[in-house]
Amino acid sequence: MKKSLFTLFGLLLLPLLSMAQEAKTIDQRINDVFEPITTAVESVVFFSLPIAGMQVPFVLIWLIAGAVIFTVYLNFVNIRSFRHSLDVVRGHFDKPGETGEVSHFQALTAALSGTVGVGNIAGVAFAVAIGGPGATFWMIVAGLLGMSSKFVECSLGTMYRNVNADGSVSGGPMYYLDKGLKNMGYGKLGKVLAVMFAIACIGGSFGGGNMVQVNQATKQLAEITGGQSSIFYNNGWIFGAIMAVIVAVVIIGGIKSIARVTDKLVPLMVGIYLTGAIIVLGYHIADIPAAIGLIFKSAFSGEALYGGVVGVLIQGFRRAAFSNEAGVGSASIAHSAVKTDEPISEGVVALLEPFIDTVVICTMTALVIVVTNYGGAGAEAAFHNRAVVGDIGLTSSSFSSVMSWFPPILGIAVILFALSTMISWSYYGLKAWTYLFGESKTNEIIYKVLFCVFVVVGSAISATAVFDFGDAMIFAMCFPNILGLYFLLPEVKRAYNAYLEKVKTGEIAKNR
């Protein structure tokens, strides 16, 4: 399989290298093709409703409403089971011989690698620049609520997974929408929702989970290696080819290989980033109480720069929802591969994701920006330059105001974030692909080769329409997913209550 993948990849790469010589022309051609498609998709996925004089994307309402309903219906599972989740992820309830491919910790890091990315660095800067410090508060609230969404979808992913003859596992929304709704007598609806999800997931894996990531990483590499004089500045395909080979080597081995990489890569990249944040916050330790006070005050201030209280709330919720992807359903694909005979135990582990991704990492980013007074530029300047702070510039300047040497380190972190996201999304897309076209080695090779080719394409082009299309497809996944979750929610609650009773009586006991 390894030889076949690299042979096909090489054959497909050759014409791409010749195309790189006329990159501007190719970019324009690609944009011309994708622009009408992207506009149509975005008009559906991101259509807005007028609320308090503002246009609010319905997808945001759909995600947050689902998170609130799941939290209340399950009696605040996000808080009640937090401590237990730490015990489960540390292996305190593991038993030998359980069905699955990876440990609880590996499943968590594999799923985290798909959500912890450029959005935690650049996206937070954009939210805080537009919404002000108060956006941080609503980001935390949305992250806490999103923990319940992750619990529901990842519990179901493990409940309805397929265990193949070779011991490999296929799971996720495609399977619980299909099989779960069929069990309830809604087989046709379940099949339609599952196919809709799978198509959107494949599109998202090639776009937002691949090309967007490598494109940002390529720009960052060019920046830290000389800017316009860098070899990578107009030759991004070189870096793309290198990244494609790295991705190929990792994904050939399936989820086990992916998990072996992510369980080391995720702690490393998060550790690098948070260490830098702690150094900045330590330098500004005297300013932290005032910054926290400003965050709370601004969260409820009608004098916020953009849209008052509603504007601040929307920006915070938007960043959290788009960062941790709670409700999108992607993470349940990775979590379904876990070694366990208790599906709820993996749902409990999964609720840690939004906490780590949003409550910890995104909040630390926001706090660094606030305590450094937006990198020394001030909130007003950041707001008026919001068209450019959507990139990594504001976050980078905030770190470098304390550590002038940190931007290259941050650049490396961004590249690692991008790599980890691509690795996880390759698995998500693969499982959606094999759901539609069948579980076979040939189908797996076809998908993996296509994915690696798109890595090179993403690094070489700057076609905005393609990247916007990829992002839109990721959030299109939440519509069929959350609709199905409403049908299956009572089943999750029954299973959750039964699981808690087993833990309480000692039927499920700690092994250490």
pLDDT of residue 120: 72
pLDDT in tens, 457-511: 887 776 677 777 877 888 899 999 999 999 999 999 999 999 999 988 888 777 7
User: Beta strands 169-170 and 162-163: pairing type?
Assistant: antiparallel
pLDDT in tens, 321-335: 767 788 899 889 988
Q: What Cα–Cα distance (Å) separates residue 477 from each residue in 149, 428, 468? A: 14, 12, 15
pLDDT (mean) for 340-345: 89
Chain centroid, CA 61 distance in Å? 18
Q: Which of 4-18, 274-288, 458-472 has the highest mean pLDDT?
A: 274-288
Q: Is the pLDDT of residue 8 over 70?
A: no
Q: Do 45 and 476 contact (CB within 8 A), yes or no? A: yes
How is 276-287 classified by DSSP, letter by letter? HHHHHHHHTGGG
List the single range of 87-101, 255-269, 302-316, 492-506 with lowest mean pLDDT.
302-316
**Exposure class string for 88-124: b at 16+ Cβ within 10 A, else e:** bbeeebbeeeeebbbbbbbbbbbbbbbbbbbbbbbbb
pLDDT of residue 248: 86
Q: Where are the domains of the chain?
A: 2-505
- Please state the φ and ψ torsions of residue 182, each to the nearest 5 degrees: -65, -40
Domain at 2-505, CATH from 1.10.1740.10, 1.10.940.10, 1.20.1740.10, 3.20.20.140:
1.20.1740.10
pLDDT of residue 154: 93
List the single range of 48-57, 352-361, 447-456 with lowest mean pLDDT.
48-57
> For residue 65, what are its two tokens?
């409403």
Q: Is the pLDDT of residue 11 over 60?
A: no
pLDDT (mean) for 122-137: 79
Q: Which residue has the higher pLDDT, 393 or 233?
A: 393
pLDDT (mean) for 49-64: 81
Cβ atoms < 10 Å from Cβ of 70: 28
Q: Residue 170: which residues within 8 A CB-CB, separation 6 or more?
A: 161, 162, 164, 336, 431, 434, 435, 439
pLDDT of residue 6: 53
Q: CA nearest 320: which of 76, 105, 123, 488?
A: 123
Q: Which residue has the higher pLDDT, 256 or 350?
A: 350
Locus of tokens 């080597």 = 249
pLDDT in tens, 142-157: 889 999 999 999 999 9
Q: CA nearest 456: which of 14, 38, 22?
A: 14
Spatial distance between the Cα atoms of 268 and 258, rounded to a whole number of angstroms: 15
